[in-house]
C-alpha cells in the first residue's frame, strides 16, 4: 500500500480504479464495510482500490475549536487501511484552495481529472465541496453524467446506534476501551516519545516509559492493560494515564510499564495498544501498598495481553 500526499505527480497506476473519499478516522467497522465494497468494485473495473482522505481534518482549518481529537495519525490510518487491502491512500494536505472548491469543481478536478475514477463507494452521510454543498444525491447526479458507478454503503448498526468515529471517541473518553476496540478494526493505539520522568517506578521495581507528545485522543484517567510495540515485538504492558496521588503529584502523565522488557527507551518513539481498563487511579497509604497493587495490575495485564513478548506477523491488524 502506498501513501501519496500530492496530486501533482500521481503515478498512472492510481488512475481508473475505485475510489472512496472520507476521513476514515480510527478505521472502524463501518469503514471496513466501505473498504470491502471498494475492493469488489476495484476488481470489477480492474483498477486500484484508493482511499482519498484529508490531512488534517478540514474542520481543523474551518472550525478549529470544534475539531475533535483524532483517533489515528495518518501513517497509522494508512497501515490499518492496508491491512484491509487498500492499494493506495491519498492523504491530501488540506488547504484553503481545496476547501474553496465547489462540489462540481471537486468532482471534476479530484475524481475525474486526477484519479479518473471508474467507481465510487461512499457512506450515506458523505459531503463534499465548499461549505459541504454536495451530498450523496448530488454525487449520484454527477456520477451518472460522468458514467462513474456509485455504491452507497449503509452504516453498521450495533445495539441501535451507528458505529462511527464519534461513538468510538466517546467510549475512549469514558475509558471503555474494550467496547471501543469491538468497533475498531484493530486495538486502539496511541504513540509518543519516551522522555525522562521522576524515576519513581524504577525505584519501586516497576520502571515506566513516560510518553510525551501524544497526538491522538487519550483514554480516561485510569490503569489499563495493553501492549507496547518495540520495533516488531509486542510486550504486555500496564499503562497508567493520570497523576500519581500517592506521591502528591497532580500532573497527569502517560506511563507505560513494559513487562519482561529491560532496556532503555529514552528518546525513542513508542506505540501502545489499549486492551482493557483495570481500575481507577487512587492514592495508597504507602509505597508498599502501591507495590502490592502494581503487582496485581501487572498480573492482570500479562493475562489479558497474552504474556510473553511475541513477534507480530502484522502488528497493525489484530482484531
Is residue 176 assigned to a domain?
no
Q: How far apart are alpha carbons 55 and 178 in whole angstroms?
A: 28
Is residue 178 assigned to a domain?
no
Domain check: are 34 and 131 in the same one?
Answer: yes
Domain check: are 100 and 199 in the same one?
Answer: no
Q: What pLDDT is attached to residue 317? A: 47
Cell of 270: 513508542
Is residue 181 assigned to a domain?
no
Domain ends where: 158, 176, 207?
A: 158
Domain check: are 222 and 100 in the same one?
Answer: no
Domain that holds residue 258: 187-311
Domain check: are 133 and 242 in the same one?
Answer: no
Q: What pLDDT is attached to residue 306? A: 87
Q: What pLDDT is attached to residue 314? A: 46
pTM here is: 0.92
Domain check: are 138 and 254 in the same one?
Answer: no
Domain check: are 12 and 104 in the same one?
Answer: yes
Domain ends where: 142, 158, 174?
A: 158
CATH code for position 11 = 3.40.50.620
Is residue 167 assigned to a domain?
no
Is residue 173 assigned to a domain?
no
Answer yes or no: are the C-beta atoms of 272 and 190 closer than 8 Å. Answer: yes
Domain check: are 219 and 260 in the same one?
Answer: yes
Is residue 175 assigned to a domain?
no
Q: How far apart are alpha carbons 26 and 77 in whole angstroms?
A: 7
Domain check: are 151 and 205 in the same one?
Answer: no
Count of residues in the chain: 319
Q: What pLDDT is attached to residue 315? A: 52
The tally of domains found in the chain comes to 2
Q: What is the mean pLDDT of each run of 10 residues along the chain (319 residues)?
A: 82 94 96 98 97 84 81 96 96 88 96 96 94 95 98 94 95 98 97 86 83 96 97 94 82 93 93 98 91 95 84 52
Domain check: are 193 and 142 in the same one?
Answer: no
Burial of 193 from C-beta contacts in 10 A (0-12 / 13-18 / 19+): middle
Domain check: are 6 and 151 in the same one?
Answer: yes
Domain check: are 9 and 138 in the same one?
Answer: yes
3-state DSSP assignment of residue 120: strand
Q: What contacts 24+ positions apart, CB below 8 Å, involve 139-143?
A: 139/107, 142/103, 142/104, 142/107
Is residue 166 assigned to a domain?
no
Q: What pLDDT is attached to residue 1? A: 65
Domain check: are 10 and 153 in the same one?
Answer: yes
Amino acid at each position: 500500500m502506498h501513501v501519496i500526499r500530492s496530486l501533482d505527480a500521481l503515478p498512472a497506476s492510481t488512475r481508473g480504479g475505485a475510489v472512496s473519499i472520507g476521513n476514515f478516522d480510527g478505521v472502524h467497522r463501518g469503514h471496513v464495510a466501505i473498504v470491502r465494497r471498494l475492493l469488489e468494485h476495484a476488481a470489477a473495473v480492474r483498477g486500484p482500490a484508493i482511499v482519498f482522505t484529508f490531512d488534517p481534518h478540514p474542520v481543523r482549518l474551518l472550525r478549529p475549536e470544534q475539531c475533535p481529537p483524532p483517533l489515528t495519525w495518518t501513517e497509522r490510518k494508512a497501515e490499518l487501511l492496508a491491512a484491509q487491502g487498500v492499494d493506495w491512500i491519498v492523504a491530501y494536505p488540506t488547504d484553503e484552495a481545496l476547501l474553496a472548491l465547489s462540489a462540481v469543481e471537486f468532482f471534476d478536478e479530484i475524481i475525474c481529472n486526477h484519479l479518473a475514477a471508474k467507481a465510487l463507494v461512499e457512506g450515506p452521510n458523505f459531503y463534499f465541496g465548499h461549505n459541504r454543498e454536495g451530498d450523496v444525491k448530488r454525487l449520484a447526479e454527477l456520477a451518472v453524467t460522468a458514467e462513474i458507478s456509485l455504491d452507497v454503503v449503509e452504516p453498521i448498526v450495533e445495539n441501535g446506534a451507528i458505529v462511527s468515529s464519534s461513538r468510538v471517541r466517546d467510549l475512549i473518553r469514558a475509558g471503555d476501551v474494550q467496547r471501543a476496540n469491538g468497533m475498531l478494526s484493530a486495538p486502539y493505539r496511541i504513540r509518543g516519545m519516551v522522555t525522562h520522568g521522576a524515576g519513581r517506578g524504577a525505584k519501586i521495581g516497576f520502571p515506566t516509559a513516560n510518553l510525551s507528545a501524544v497526538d491522538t485522543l487519550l483514554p480516561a484517567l485510569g490503569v489499563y492493560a495493553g501492549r507496547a510495540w518495540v520495533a516488531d515485538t509486542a510486550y504486555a504492558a500496564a499503562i497508567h494515564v493520570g497523576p500519581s496521588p500517592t506521591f502528591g503529584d497532580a500532573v497527569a502523565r502517560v506511563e507505560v510499564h513494559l513487562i519482561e522488557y529491560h532496556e532503555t527507551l529514552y528518546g525513542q518513539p513508542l506505540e501502545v495498544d489499549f486492551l482493557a481498563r483495570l481500575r481507577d487511579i487512587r492514592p495508597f497509604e504507602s509505597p508498599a501498598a502501591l507495590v502490592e497493587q502494581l503487582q496485581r495490575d501487572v498480573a492482570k495485564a500479562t493475562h489479558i495481553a497474552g504474556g510473553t513478548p511475541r513477534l507480530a506477523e502484522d502488528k497493525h491488524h489484530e482484531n
